Structure 1
Amino acid sequence: MKLYHYPLSGHAHRARLFLSLTGVKYDLIEVDLRAGEHKTPDFLKLNTFGQVPVLEDDDVIVPDSLAIIVYVARKFGLEAWLPSEPVAAAAVQRWFSVAAGQLRYGPAAARLVTVFGAKYDVEQTLATAHAILKLIDQELVGRDWIVGNHPTAADVALYSYISSAPEGNVDLLPYAEIKAWLQRIEALPGFVPFQRTPVGLAA
């Protein structure tokens, strides 16, 4: 099993983190986005969108971080991480949607501005970031994990871009519950950190 990634991609880190936390064996292959390796013919055969991460499992190719999580969880029967029971499954899916929505257009977009020079409306990305972080902080009151009483794929889906939010000038200081939750994830066996960039509030 091979994971194609880029160290500064939060999407790629999300997939790598899930593989590592669950103990699944894989080879890590770096794709140099700055050199345009993700747009080469060979890579486009793996993912026509020209994006990382991509998981290659023999003749099975799975692009997209959340799709990779689903594939790995189902292949290895990781029910605790990605439950099939309807209520719990719906709860995890809700947070997948947040990761692909408000998180993507909030903390992730704000970080894209400072790290990669993306042309986003900075005020809008910061407002979106703080709106979703406030809601997540409230959700964590009185609980250790986003869904249920143990870590799940929902926590993994949210971690990378929340932990790196200060790089996009998103201050986590007001969010005590989130900060404690980040520490709990970072204490899990198999945790791998997201590569830091000294920009924004992290400079």
Structure 2
Amino acid sequence: MITLYDHPRSGNCYRVRLFLSLIGLASRRVFVDVLARANHTEAFERVSAFRQVPAIQDGDDEPIWDSHAILLYLAHRYAPQWIAPSDQMGQMHAWISVSTNEIANSLQPLRLTKVVSTEEAAHHLGVDASLLDVAGLERKTHRTLAAFNKRLTEHEWLAVSRSVADVDCYGYLALAEEAGIDVANYPAIAAWRHRIEALPGYVRHGDTASSAPHDGFLNNP
């Protein structure tokens, strides 16, 4: 069984939990208390090179960290139907790259400033609290969402066919309201979110009903 090192509020962890549920793959979840800095240990560094969640351990294989890498690994090994056809492969990887760059530098940190304290957000973003530019993050977020909305106005799925890129980008686009974004202003994104939410196996952020029980607080992973 796959072990998932997880934090329930993380959008990065959510995209992995969601994909595991969509492909019907059982997992054992280990809660890593990142707010208590439980990930800042040499032991956890052996699981995740940059001490970040999520990470997975698939049997006796070497651990895999980074949510984007985890999704691609799971798709290639267990759910090839989520890999785009060869003529759409470039688009799939391009939109995964958008998740790792544009979303990770706009919507993702903007949401963080709303759900934790300013000091905690600054710590995780690696900046001084006085340097947090929330207004700038809001502008970047709206530019990113406008690009998504245009793409999804023209196509049902990001890579034309449904692929792992949709789950990757959905992880934080599903949480846009927590960043203070009204998704009604982006109707194509809203419709795309509904399509994902209608898929068999879909679980909402924070819904643990279809997951294996937690192993509790991980202070010494």
TM-score above 0.5, yes or no:
yes
Give matches, 1:1-203, under 5 Å.
1-59=2-60, 60-76=62-78, 78-83=79-84, 85=86, 87-116=87-116, 117=118, 118-119=121-122, 120-149=132-161, 151-195=162-206
Q: Alignment identity in percent?
A: 33
Paired residue secondary structure (2:56): strand
- Cα deviation for residue 142 of structure 1 reads 4.3
Asked if the contact 1:96/1:154 (under 8 Å) is kept, the reply is: yes
Asked if the contact 1:110/1:126 (under 8 Å) is kept, the reply is: yes
User: Matched residues in 1 for 2:41 and 2:24: separation?
Assistant: 31
- Cα deviation for residue 165 of structure 1 reads 1.4
Asked if the contact 1:54/1:62 (under 8 Å) is kept, the reply is: yes
Paired residue secondary structure (1:28): strand
Paired residue secondary structure (2:64): strand
Paired residue secondary structure (1:140): helix
User: Matched residues in 1 for 2:51 and 2:69: separation?
Assistant: 16
TM (norm. structure 1) is 0.89
User: Matched residues in 2 for 1:166 and 1:155: separation?
Assistant: 18
Asked if the contact 1:185/1:191 (under 8 Å) is kept, the reply is: yes
How many residues matched?
A: 193
TM (norm. structure 2) is 0.82
**Aligned letter for 1:25?**
A
Asked if the contact 2:49/2:65 (under 8 Å) is kept, the reply is: no
User: Matched residues in 2 for 1:48 and 1:79: separation?
Assistant: 27
Q: Which has the higher contact order (CA 8 A, sep 6+)?
A: 2
RMSD: 1.6
- Cα deviation for residue 128 of structure 1 reads 0.8
User: Matched residues in 2 for 1:136 and 1:83: separation?
Assistant: 18
The list of structure 1 runs, each at least 4 consecutive aligned residues, that deviate by more than 3 angstroms after superposition, is none
User: Matched residues in 1 for 2:47 and 2:169: separation?
Assistant: 25
Asked if the contact 1:107/1:170 (under 8 Å) is kept, the reply is: no
User: Matched residues in 2 for 1:2 and 1:179: separation?
Assistant: 32
Write out per-residue CA displacement over residues 72-120 of structure 1, whole angstroms, 9 at most, x where no aligned residue. 11212x33212361x3111110001100111111111101111123233
Q: Provide structure 2 residue ranges, at least 5 long, that are not aligned to the other structure.
A: 123-131, 208-221
- Cα deviation for residue 131 of structure 1 reads 0.4
User: Matched residues in 2 for 1:122 and 1:186: separation?
Assistant: 29
Paired residue secondary structure (2:158): coil
